[in-house]
């Protein structure tokens, strides 16, 4: 099994009749960086539940063709469904979060704009975040990337939150409710979400709206965490409590 | 108290007879970025247990002078003693780890060289990491930075490990021992350490040496984490279990 994990992995958008075609970056990486040859064995992931074990049949100028030898259910996909609702922050930090949350085992990522979102950070590129999570699954062994959703406005979050049976909200004005108590009291949750704001935090009105939408306000202790640190820390702890790292 | 937390904070190397002097970057930041004036109130930290509340008395060409009005025990310093032993990895990622572990609440950071450390990454700059942890405490509210130790060779780690009463070792060849079991069985630990290797992992000999030195080998689950992700995730989970985020 270790052999499979460490096989060189490529991301393909689709597989048709047992044939995979790699173009652009993936083709270039296989040919010019990895310098693989016809008949070499590689793993291909396409964003579904399976790993596809393939043999390279042709390396052309702009395209590599592979034949699928077998497929196997991937066992590194997360078992827990965890969605991160993350305020838009600097693009570099958003990229960092998407890479890390993919490795840690988050399922979904929903960026949002709130009142303190800085204007210049708006309009994050979903395509870029999709590329980052696809690159990240190749490294960490998942076959399904984190689903990157379109950016929403915080005021439209309520109907989305209603699908989750536990919603954790990192609230720096919260003084009394620690994260461990909320996790302990909701250990049967199956579809979990956490919400992290931008550097400026939330307005009082937004805090009330989130709590009214069913989000459980928690404190993360006495140190003030950067937005990206809070996000990575919360994903780590929630997935740990839900036995994702055993 | 919130007023204190959000006061503009500066790092000074020493305080003498109730007078603080800021030079270089800190002076420049106060004068040219923050554009503060004589009589403005700021917080100064020096790396000890206290916050110093000061009034600016003079802003010169290359130095700012402040008078200490009062001092108060800082309540954002970590209560748990947690040391991270981290293999040398790319400098950017090492900087990222030092920033994040400071916010999360680690006490000590010990970089080490192991057999798979890539040569070009050797010789990390302790000074740079010290600057990063000092900047990070100003943002997160600690008054004591994480102590950055000199780089050691992994083969010299045994005597250092003997000071800890729990040593967690992220071992990607470990299949059976989950992190939560080790943490549960050692909930009385007071001086904890965790060890994370470089991208290439550890040799079998190194693994045996670490286990022989008292390190408890744990698995972090089925996904392969980047070195910096493992480090941030482990700090988050260990400090969470030791009630650092309540």
Q: What DSSP string describes A81-137?
A: EEEEEEE---HHHHHHHHHHHHHHT--EEEEEE-TT--GGG-S--HHHHHHHHHHHH
What pLDDT is recorded for position A67?
Answer: 97
Q: Is A16's pLDDT higher than 90? A: yes
Select from A8, A105, A140, A222 the residue whose CB has the most chain B CBs within 10 Å, as the one to mutate to test that interface: A222
Q: Is B3's pLDDT higher than 60? A: no
Token pair in block for residue A152:
């929403």
What is the percentage of chain A residues whose pLDDT exceeds 90? 89
User: What is the residue-wise DSSP string for B201-218?
Assistant: ---HHHHHHHHHTT-EEE
What is the distance between the alpha carbons of residues A32 and A24, in angstroms, rounded to a whole number? 11
The verdict on a CB contact (< 8 Å) between B221 and A246 is yes
Do residues A51 and A5 lie in contact, with contact meaning Cβ atoms separated by under 8 Å? no
What is the percentage of chain B residues whose pLDDT exceeds 90? 89
What pLDDT is recorded for position A3?
Answer: 45
Q: Is B209's pLDDT higher than 70? A: yes
Neighbouring C-alpha atoms within 13 Å toward the C-beta of B120: 2
What is the distance between the alpha carbons of residues B20 and B1, in angstroms, rounded to a whole number? 23
Q: Is A68's pLDDT higher than 50? A: yes
Same fold, B2-73 and B81-241: no
Residues of B in contact with A229 (CB under 8 A): 100, 103-104, 232
**Given pLDDT bands bounded at 50, 70 and 90, which one contains residue B2?**
very low
Select from A146, A229, A242 the residue whose CB has the most chain B CBs within 10 Å, as the one to mutate to test that interface: A229
Nearest to A224 among B141, B224, B240 (CB): B141
Q: Is B122's pLDDT higher than 70? A: no
* Spacing of C-alpha A6 from chain mean position: 21
Please report which helix (H) or strand (E) contains residue B110, including its range. Answer: strand B108-113
**Given pLDDT bands bounded at 50, 70 and 90, which one contains residue B108?**
very high
CATH topology of domain A81-241: Alpha/beta knot (3.40.1280)
What is the distance between the alpha carbons of residues B106 and A34, in angstroms, rounded to a whole number? 38
Chain A: give the shortest CA distance to residue B142, in Å: 7
**Given pLDDT bands bounded at 50, 70 and 90, which one contains residue A225?**
very high
Q: Which of A237-241, B6-10, B187-191 has the lowest mean pLDDT?
A: B6-10
Q: Is B96's pLDDT higher than 70? A: yes
* Spacing of C-alpha B100 from chain mean position: 8
User: What is the residue-wise DSSP string for A31-97?
Assistant: IIIS---TT-EEEEE-SSSEEEEEEEEEE-SSEEEEEEEEEEE-S-S-SSEEEEEEE---HHHHHHH
User: So where are chain B's domains?
Assistant: 2-73, 81-241
Quick one: CATH architecture of A2-73?
Beta Barrel (2.40)
Residues of A in contact with B76 (CB under 8 A): 222-224
CA-CA distances (angstroms) from residue A42 to A8, B127, B197?
5, 43, 26
Per-residue pLDDT reduced to its tens digit, B131-167: 999 999 999 999 999 999 999 999 999 999 999 999 9
Do residues A191 and A81 lie in contact, with contact meaning Cβ atoms separated by under 8 Å? yes
**Given pLDDT bands bounded at 50, 70 and 90, which one contains residue B7?**
confident
Strand pairing class (A216-218; B19-23) = unpaired
What is the distance between the alpha carbons of residues B225 and A120, in angstroms, rounded to a whole number? 32
């Amino acid at each position: 099994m270790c052999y499979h994990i460490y096989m060189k992995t490529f991301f393909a958008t689709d597989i048709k009749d047992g044939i995979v075609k790699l173009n652009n970056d993936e083709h270039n990486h296989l040919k010019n960086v990895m310098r693989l040859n016809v008949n070499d064995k590689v793993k291909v992931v396409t964003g579904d539940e399976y790993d596809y074990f393939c043999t390279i049949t042709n390396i052309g100028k702009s395209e590599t063709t592979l034949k699928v030898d077998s497929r196997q259910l991937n066992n590194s996909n997360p078992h827990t469904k965890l969605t991160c609702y993350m305020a838009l922050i600097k693009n570099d930090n958003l990229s960092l979060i998407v890479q890390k949350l993919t490795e840690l085992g988050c399922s979904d990522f929903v960026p949002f704009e709130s009142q303190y979102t800085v204007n210049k950070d708006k309009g994050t590129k979903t395509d870029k975040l999709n590329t980052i999570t696809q690159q990240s699954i190749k490294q960490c062994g998942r076959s399904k990337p984190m689903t990157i959703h379109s950016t929403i406005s915080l005021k439209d979050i309520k109907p989305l939150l209603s699908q989750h049976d536990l919603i954790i909200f990192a609230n720096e004005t919260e003084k009394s409710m620690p994260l461990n108590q909320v996790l302990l009291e909701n250990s049967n949750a199956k579809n979990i979400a956490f919400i992290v704001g931008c550097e400026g935090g939330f307005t009082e009105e937004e805090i009330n709206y989130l709590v009214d939408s069913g989000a459980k306000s928690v404190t993360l202790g006495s140190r003030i965490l950067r937005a990206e640190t809070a996000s990575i820390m919360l994903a780590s702890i929630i997935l740990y409590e839900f036995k994702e790292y055993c």
